[in-house]
Each structure stands twice: as C-alpha cells, then as structure tokens.
Amino acid sequence: MQKLVTIFGGSGFIGRYVARRMAKSGWRVRVACRRPNEAHFVRMYGSVGQVEPVFANIRDDASVAAALTGASVVVNCVGILAPSGRNGFDAVQADGAARIARLAAGTGLERMVQISAIGADADSDSDYARTKALGEAGVRDHMPEAVILRPSIVFGSEDEFFNRFATMARWAPVLPVVGANTRFQPVYVDDVAAAAEAAAEGRVRGGVYELGGPDTETFRELMRQMLRTIRRRALILPVPFFGARIMAWGLDLGQTITGGLFHNGLLTRDQVRNLARDNVVSGKHPGFDAFGITPTPMEAVLPGYLWRFRPSGQYAEIKDSAKNLRNL
C-alpha cells in the first residue's frame, strides 16, 4: 500500500513542487490548504486519486488532526510574507508550525519536514524572522528528529520576487530598490522541493539545513540580471532605509485604517527590517551537499519564465533570428 504524506500549504509556491515530486516518487499526497476548491490543479501531479486537496486551517487543532489522519510523513510549507486578518506571523509561522508538530507526534508520524527561512532568529526585530525561529523551536519540541530547511529567497515560475519586479519594469522607467547592497543567494524552487522530498523519505538526518543557490548577488545585481533577461532598461534607484521605513509606515497605516480593505502588498515595515540583513547561508549548517543536490543557477531558469515580460514576448527569439538572417 502506498504511504501517505500530508503537505500543509501544498498548493502554494514551494508546496506544489514538493507535492509533484512526492507523487512522482509513488506517494499518496494529501494537499492541506485553506481553499481546496482553488487547488484542483494538484490532482494532475499523479494518477487518479493519488493527489487530493483537502481543507485545513493550521490555527485549529481539529482541522490539522483531520488532515494528518492516516499519514506517515508531514511537510509544512505554510508561511506568509505579511500578516492579514487572523493570519498573523505568530498564529501562522510560530503557533501553526508547533501545532502541526504536536499533533503529528501524537499520532506517531514517522517524520516531519519544516520549511523555514535563512535568517530565522528568535531575537530578531523582524516578526517574520522571529516567528520562523519560534516555529522551528516548536517543531523540535515535539518532533526532535524533524528536518528543518532554511532556503534563501526562492525563485521559479510562480515566484513573487522576479515576477513582481519584471512587471514593474514593463511599465515603469524606474525600479525603486530597498537594500540595494543586501546580498541574496537565490535558490531554485524545485531544488528546495528535491531536498524536502529526500528529507520526507528519510534520506538525511534530522536537523537544520541551509539552502542557498550557486550565485551570491546584491539586490541591485539581481535587478540588473532580471532586466537583461527581459531585455528592458530601467533606472535602479536605491531607496535609503530611512525613507523606506517612512514609506512602509504609511502603507501599513493605510491597511490598519481601512480595516484590511487596502492590503499592503507593496512594502511593510517588517520587510524593510529583513532587507537590512544579508540573506545568505551562514556555513554553520549543512546545505545541498548533504542531499547530493547541485543547486541550479539563475541563468538556467529565469529566461524560461520571464520571457513574457520582454517587449516582443514569445517572439523575441524569432525576431533576433530574423535580424541575423538579414545580416548574412
């Protein structure tokens, strides 16, 4: 009989790649998410009935317990970049992760994989980083042998990083960048999923693993690479942290005053705090080598999904070829 893995957040950016890999490895996959009616696409990752989206709210014991019923392994991919309503940082990233681990331990699950983030720090002034660390601690309290993956910024077809700035570059002559000199080590989403798959199958020991890509670049350099990929020009304008804090304060205030009707998806004060710190592996924990994975460079992936932001879109390569023919 096929073993069952429950993936919380399995329809999200990282979670869908984990779900697809687990299905290809022959697992039955239960994708636990808040809106299963919007997650039917995950069924296509396996044979009929192999991958099933189900409702789960990680703020509720009964909901989490139901999603864990019959599973042998659990992977938690749930995370947020900004709070919204009841889904605050503490409720989702700290309490939610601990709840999953506690209920998983109570049902005797074999293994747990927790997707965290580089920079997780219980003493951080960033709520994002602080609650990521609290979530890790809660997981270890109940599942001491859990595997905790800390990726740097993750890129891929559905990312909210390169896609967001490429969208801006399509219309705006200026790209404002907060933390232009902050260093990142972008990691391809399917490489993170491959590490999660190996951990779920028990191919590595429990503990913390830091996942960084082969390229270490500043925010400014990443924007230059994105612009080269989409063949557009824009002025990269570094925004001082002082000005960014004021801007973020105003946007956060707008969300508070409107009771959430205006959702600040642009820049929050917490994101400004995070952007003040480098987002690269520390070297204190094992990385991709422990999984036998060679991380994928950005240039091998970015053109494959950013082409739609080029002035000629899918026809850019054809037009270049035509120019070469005229020059013969």
pLDDT in tens, 75-85: 999 999 888 88
The residues with which 30 forms a beta bridge, in sequence order, are: 6, 52
What is the per-residue pLDDT across 266-306, written as a single tens digit (0 to 9) for each? 899 999 999 999 999 999 999 999 999 999 999 999 999 99
Other CB atoms closer than 10 Å to residue 5's CB: what's the count? 29
Residue 85 in tokens: 């309503």
pLDDT digits (tens, 9 = 90+) for 21-44: 999 999 999 999 999 999 999 999
Residue 249 pLDDT greater than 60, yes or no: yes
Q: Say if residues 38 and 11 touch (Cβ distance below 8 Å).
A: yes
Res. 150: pLDDT tops 90: yes
Q: Of all residues in the chain, what percent carry a pLDDT higher than 90?
A: 87
Q: What is the model's pLDDT at position 257?
A: 85
Q: Pairing between strand 111-115 and 73-76?
A: parallel
User: What integer pLDDT is reported at residue 258 of this predicted model?
Assistant: 78
Alpha carbon 72 to chain centroid, angstroms: 24
Give the integer Cα–Cα distance in Å for 223 and 239. Answer: 14
Q: Which residue has the tokens 């503990």?
A: 207
Q: How confident is the model at residue 319 (pLDDT cuts 50, 70, 90)?
A: low
Average pLDDT, the chain: 94
* Residue 260 scores a pLDDT above 80: no
* pLDDT for 323 beyond 90: no
4-155+186-212+279-295 is classed CATH 3.40.50.720: yes
> In sequence order, what are the residues at sequence separation of 6 or more whose Cβ sits closer than 8 angstroms to the Cβ of residue 43?
51, 52, 53
- Please say whether the beta carbons of 134 and 126 come within 8 A: no
How far apart CA 252 and CA 62 sit, in angstroms, is 33
